[in-house]
Structure 1
């Protein structure tokens, strides 16, 4: 039965001082028809008990599909210091989770920052001799390169000073009483993981869902991503009254319809 509070199991990623325990909740496919496993890649400061992740798991149960959810280090019930988080670190954890579950093929569903992680995952999975095939991508309000493209150009002088003097800056969060924290390491590492720098060849169908009232990731960012995907079969759905979260019932329906079309 689908449950946001299923007991997770943990794997250790990294060594020594960099070791952290990553929480995974997964379900196996109910049939052996070799359909892709669904892999949820959450956004910055989100976790695997969010509405979209839980609804994806419910859909997987209904369709008898394998589904993998997990929390990045410093998120949800995973261990680790959030302030040490970087794209490279969370990418390493995403790879480790997929390698732990060893699916034959996957559909990556990435929300916000998870869309960036998904695009980088494809690059890294291609380097593996026996890694799973990526059968499709569903990107929800994708935020590739958000540190360099959306944050750094808009830093205030006070935020720049805080990055230099404290190694991080804070800003109020619309979704939590706790402020968002952005570190100097996150910004520096982000530049080493940029994907909007040339042609992105995913080798699979891509479905992008983007709200036009998204104040965190403007819909123009999704249009720019489209320009970097000239070789792929890409569907972009612009949702006129959609915000960044895209968690309303009608938004969930769109997400699941996109996933179902890729499974089929």
Structure 2
């Protein structure tokens, strides 16, 4: 008779951990999302289409998705640059800057919105100088982009930073010793290793920006058809007791965010396969 020696695990077995995981995900995620979809389904197609296709709603979609895409794209570039500086260089105040990156995580979004207005209003510390050049940030669509860029920066930095720490500098030195230019080293050595993490950070920043409310509501001015974002419109529907309208708009945002994340995951799989 043969016996199989099993190593005792500190964490309980697969059945128990899987059951707890599914229970937690169902309680926190699946049930609320399913409830939203079921409640929206009770509207009927004509009422649903009327709620999501109203010109004011369409204008809010355009602003929310465009501003979120711009903010996430800016963070993809400059967030990667910040992560590179924090990993590759030693300088005074490095720990302070590293801690400041996480500030949007800890700072209440309403406080962030008030701070941005204080800075970028026409009489603010920065806005008064931008006004001299004809640039207005507060209460414009540019202000929405600034707010969404601010809250999305940590997602890119914190996803790219660990990959950079694991990427040995010797690989870059070896590439240079073999005669590769700096551009070739970046394109053939660094970017392929960073691409999956960078796409993850981009997706997280984009998804976070789509649902942002507190920091945008102060700096945008909330002008219908101009600076009104979709989350604000959903809150307005709820305040007017139009729960079906709020659920319909929320469902569109939910499906759109899911499709974007699915696309990003597909790109990550493609990038990892190429590597």
What TM-score bracket applies, with the shorter chain setting the length? under 0.3
More strand by share: 1
Instruction: Name the larger-Rg structure.
Output: 2
Where is the helix percentage greater, Structure 1 or Structure 2?
2
TM-score, normalised via structure 2 length: 0.24
